[in-house]
Structure 1
Amino acid sequence: MSIRPTLETRKAQPTLEGAGVHLHRAFGFHDPSELDPFLLFDDFRNDIPEHFLRGFPWHPHRGIETITYVLAGEVDHGDSLGNTGTLGAGDVQWMTAGSGILHQEMPRGNRQGQMHGFQLWANLPGSLKMTAPRYQDVQATEIPEIIDDDGTKVRVVVGDFWGKRGPVDGIAADPQYLDISVPPGVRKTFKVDTYRRAFAYVFAGAGVFSDASKPSGVLLEKEVMGQEVNIRDMSGDRTLVRFGTGDEVTVQAGEEGVRFLLISGAPLQEPVAWHGPIVMNTQAEIQQAIRDLRNGTFIRAAH
């Protein structure tokens, strides 16, 4: 067994998207090879309705899949396939844009005016970029939750974990998408297939993700529940942790515990041509998509 080293930790950055939605972007629109097959990850969390109610009006996508996970509030959505619906707390939507789809996502807060959710973009391989669009809404009650003896909780959104399988299926990137809560002071190890790229996104509490290159006992400044940890390596709210290769990830939860997403997927290792919500393999394909948008042929059958 080998612990994945921590290659980088960085804070998600404030960003405006859609019609003026205030969100935090952990990664996206930079180096697409960094977390291949994943392209972008946004944390749309806000308790000021004016900062999210204008939402994400009608816009196109081609060549990618999106996974939207709602924690608080609701998101009304509609698309060019005629699908409409509402995602509530704990619900997930997976959308394959494929050859082209137009859709809108309009957030609504809960009774306290709070909205919180995540959106992840996964790339499609060249062989599937022009596949037929499709989508799937998954209710919170369909997502298995596992509670371990030490109080660790894992919601299995996508993939297989601890004998359970997430209900979202058919994503080309074959990701594993876990929502993990580790109680205060607990040290926990999670297996991740060696061939996958992996990252964690901390959104509550704090923890230290073990790095094989940093021996324990270095620069100790604090104890957590009787166990010494290096608080200089503590990852807190809105922190992205990018891992190197290995087959497991280990975290030491802080005084308030830690909650994070652990996401991994098999890299495509294909060329990426990127223009906003359209991701193809070549600039010629991007230009074709723009022409299709202009002449009204963007929405079409797979070929």
Structure 2
Amino acid sequence: MLDVRRLRLLRELARRGTIAAVAEALAYSPSAVSQQLAVLEREAGLPLLERTGRRVRLTPAAQNLVGHAEAVLERLERAGADLAEARGGLAGVLRVGAFPTATRALVPAALVHLARRHPALEPMVHETDPAAVAHALRAGDLDVALVHTYDFVPTPPEPGLATRPLYGEAMYLAAPAEPPSGAWPEPGPAAPVADQGAVLRAHRDAPWITATPGTLCHTMTLRACRAAGFTPRVRHRIDEFATVLALVAAGQGVAVVPQLGVTGPPGAGVALTRLDMERRTEIAFRSGAGTHPAVAAFAASLRAAVPPDLAVPRAGA
């Protein structure tokens, strides 16, 4: 009989490529991972791994087994959801991942909504960059999370995960305002959309402020600028949008910011121009867990907390 815990290790190895990476992600020692995979090979009765230098390559039989593992793990999530539904009454810990702007602008209201309906449920929020969410969900460190995608940073489907759309945001080019102008348009889907390429190219020689490398926000800015025909000269790397806007107001550069990053009028010094792009936020969870009562309840609370001025995500985007 194949052990589901060992199947999970094989699935993670298929995603990460090295035993060391699997061990780090799942809080095992590399030797423990190797031993468990060796046991799985004996259970399977044929080779599953081929070593190529420091990496490990899965045999065709192992690749096929990973596909079965995905199906088994999804069915286990559905079984857990059915049992939770049968028990009735939500209680216990729900581990939630959210990126900073959503943590500030959306999650507190969602938690209030959730507490009124399910006071025995204990949500625990962890600020998590969307790029790290897939691993955290598959490892069981999170139960549900908010992730976002950009027009210039499409994200392929993640094995073992499912998502549901939540909302879309307008995107803006934030630049130092020329005195005496300090006004900006009311953020939201009703703001007029500018010629994006022309707006970005107008600032090609300016210093730029981006998020830190490795984040989707950083990749989005670089790709948007390259689509406009240039590579931005990055001066500052900042993840918090309030700080980004303060640096823009100080004349330190320009930046692309989402609607939720605009927390209120920044005062004199910043001008916003709406771009023809969007950031879309989704609710992510392990495949099969969407019907779990705790996950479904938190998703409902998130939808109730979405501000009315946020756009519905563009279909098929």
Measured against the shorter chain, the TM-score band is: under 0.3
Larger helix share, 1 or 2: 2
TM-score (norm. length: structure 1): 0.23
Larger strand share, 1 or 2: 1
Which one has a bigger Cα radius of gyration? 2
